[in-house]
């Protein structure tokens, strides 16, 4: 976590997508891997360190983004994870609420600045771009804010979050896929990080929270896009690879118990089991959790118990 935050703060302005993966995909620096080791080893001092970071995260002067991989939504995930695994004595609800509220306030501010309060009351950007996907964009941030354990008030959910989610829904391409950012009209990427596979998780969570069928239907539509276009030549990883896309099927399966989605996850698992035979490019960090073999193995291991599957560092 120290690596995550220190790199995140000091290199924020210079960071590129590739740089991002340099530390995100280094297993020594990766948030959930390190937190999981603290949890299993009972390293309370590390837990305190996690809590101490809130001062920087909450500071109005912090030039911290809100997205999942480097920003406040990732920090919120870390808090929710420890809270779930260890309990309220390790991470208290007040801290969780403060961080969730800071993310909401940041989104309101940008939305007001951009005069989008009517259409999209919670707006976020990363490196001056308003991304839509799970890794850097609106879908990932909304997904984390929708977590029941974040305990946002009902009026924030209904008056700010729901119209913002609907704004993303209306950006859908005719194909059913989603743009990578509000300024990008190209229907190209079908990744967890950019495109329908990440937005699907937001829609599933919106269905669970708001109980409106339109969210479930559109999540299922995302599933069709992934089934048609989701076997990726970029590799087998979870961020922009076939394993990450298969987690979308598992999410639909866990929600609906429809075996069609499990079948699709199995077929993607078969593809991953033929590792290295599809002419995919080798990731820069071939063993890493997000880009490489570790993520694919995590997915294949989850296929043993699909009902308990969990996209690492994202699903709770
Ligand atoms: Zn990616």
The angle formed by the CA atoms of residues 289, 290 and 294, to the nearest 5 degrees, is: 30
Distance 239 CA to ligand 1 centre (A): 4
Distance 217 CA to ligand 1 centre (A): 25
96 with 151: CB under 8 angstroms? yes
Q: Which residues touch 212 (CB under 8 Å, ≥6 apart)?
A: 206
DSSP string for residues in 178-194: --SBTT-------SSSS
What is the pLDDT, as a whole number, of residue 41? 61
* Per-residue burial over 222-252, b = 16 or more CB atoms within 10 Å of its CB, e = otherwise: bbebbbebbbbebbbbbbbbbbbbbbbbbbb
Q: Which residues surround ligand 1, an ion (CB under 5 A)?
A: 193, 239-240
Q: What is d(CA 236, CA 243) in angstroms, rounded to the nearest whole number?
A: 6
Distance 193 CA to ligand 1 centre (A): 4
Distance 241 CA to ligand 1 centre (A): 8
Distance 6 CA to ligand 1 centre (A): 22
What is the pLDDT, as a whole number, of residue 40? 60
The span from the first CA to the last CA of the chain, in angstroms, equals 18
Q: What is d(CA 2, CA 119) in angstroms, rounded to the nearest whole number?
A: 37
82 with 51: CB under 8 angstroms? no
What is the pLDDT, as a whole number, of residue 19? 39
Binding residues for Zn(2+): 193, 239-240
Distance 18 CA to ligand 1 centre (A): 10
| Residue 10: both structure tokens together | 């000091």
For 23, the 3-state DSSP assignment is helix
| Residue 164: both structure tokens together | 């913002």
In 3D space, the residue among 50, 116, 56 whose CA is nearest the CA of residue 125 turns out to be 116
Q: Where are the alpha helices (DSSP H) in 16-92?
A: 17-24, 31-41, 44-52, 54-58, 72-85
What is the pLDDT, as a whole number, of residue 39? 63
Average pLDDT per 10 consecutive residues for the chain, totaling 316 residues: 33 35 44 59 71 88 89 95 89 94 96 95 96 97 97 97 98 97 94 97 98 98 98 91 97 98 97 86 86 93 96 94
| Residue 315: both structure tokens together | 């699903």
Distance 291 CA to ligand 1 centre (A): 7
User: How many CB atoms sit inside 10 A of residue 183's CB?
Assistant: 10
Q: What is d(CA 73, CA 142) in angstroms, rounded to the nearest whole number?
A: 9
Residue showing tokens 């799970």 = 134
| Residue 297: both structure tokens together | 């193995």
Q: What is d(CA 8, CA 225) in angstroms, rounded to the nearest whole number?
A: 33
42 with 90: CB under 8 angstroms? no
């Amino acid at each position: 976590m120290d690596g995550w935050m220190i790199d995140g703060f000091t290199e924020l302005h210079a960071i590129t997508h590739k740089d991002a993966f340099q530390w995100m995909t280094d297993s020594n620096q990766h948030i959930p891997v390190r937190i999981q080791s603290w949890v299993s080893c009972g390293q309370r001092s590390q837990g305190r360190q996690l809590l101490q970071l809130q001062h920087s995260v909450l500071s109005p002067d912090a030039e911290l983004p809100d997205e999942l991989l480097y920003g406040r939504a990732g920090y919120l995930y870390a808090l929710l994870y420890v809270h779930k695994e260890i309990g309220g004595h390790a991470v208290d609800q007040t801290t969780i609420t403060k961080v969730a509220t800071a993310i909401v306030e940041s989104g309101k501010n940008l939305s007001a600045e951009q005069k989008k309060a009517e259409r999209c009351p919670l707006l976020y950007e990363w490196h001056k771009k308003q991304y839509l996907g799970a890794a850097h964009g609106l879908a990932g941030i909304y997904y984390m804010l929708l977590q029941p354990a974040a305990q946002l008030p009902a009026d924030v959910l209904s008056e700010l979050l729901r119209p913002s989610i609907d704004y993303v829904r209306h950006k859908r391409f005719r194909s059913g896929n989603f743009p990578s950012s509000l300024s990008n009209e190209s229907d190209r990427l079908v990744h967890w990080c950019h495109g329908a596979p990440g937005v699907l998780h937001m829609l599933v969570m919106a269905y669970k929270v708001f109980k409106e069928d339109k969210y479930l239907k559109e999540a299922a539509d995302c599933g069709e896009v992934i089934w048609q276009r989701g076997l990726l030549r970029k590799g087998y990883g979870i961020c922009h690879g076939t394993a990450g896309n298969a987690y979308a099927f598992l999410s639909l399966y866990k929600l609906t118990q429809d075996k069609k989605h499990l079948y699709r996850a199995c077929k993607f698992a078969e593809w991953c089991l033929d590792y290295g035979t599809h002419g995919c490019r080798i990731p820069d960090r071939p063993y890493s959790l997000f880009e490489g073999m570790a993520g694919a193995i995590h997915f294949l291991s989850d296929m043993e118990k699909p009902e308990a599957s969990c996209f690492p560092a994202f699903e709770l």
